Amino acid sequence: MEQKNNTGAIFKNDYKKTDSHPDYKGKALIDGVEKEVALWLNESKSGVKYFSAKFSKPYQAEVEAGGNEDAKHDAQRSNLDGLPF
């Protein structure tokens, strides 16, 4: 399904474990750029409920050039070659 520009979908976060985790999470396409959306349900001092929101780049796991984890460890080991022990 193709997402329309300046729209998104938000779902309850079933994996929330602490107050710092968002109550709701989702994705939106904002001006042609995909964003992750996080929402927290808050309450003001006067008792009015509201959402605070955070928009961020979609999560991507860090990948070394070539995507080879062994190459990363080899590079770390080569940095240790100059140690005197």
User: How far is residue 61's CA from residue 27's CA, in Å, rounded to a whole number?
Assistant: 17
Q: What is the pTM of this model?
A: 0.67
Burial class (CB in 10 A: 0-12, 13-18, 19+), 28: middle
Which single residue is written with the structure tokens 């976060």? 13
pLDDT in tens, the chain (85 residues): 688 999 999 999 999 999 999 999 999 999 999 999 999 999 999 999 999 999 999 988 776 555 555 555 565 555 555 555 5
Contacts of residue 17, Cβ cutoff 8 Å, sequence gap at least 6: none
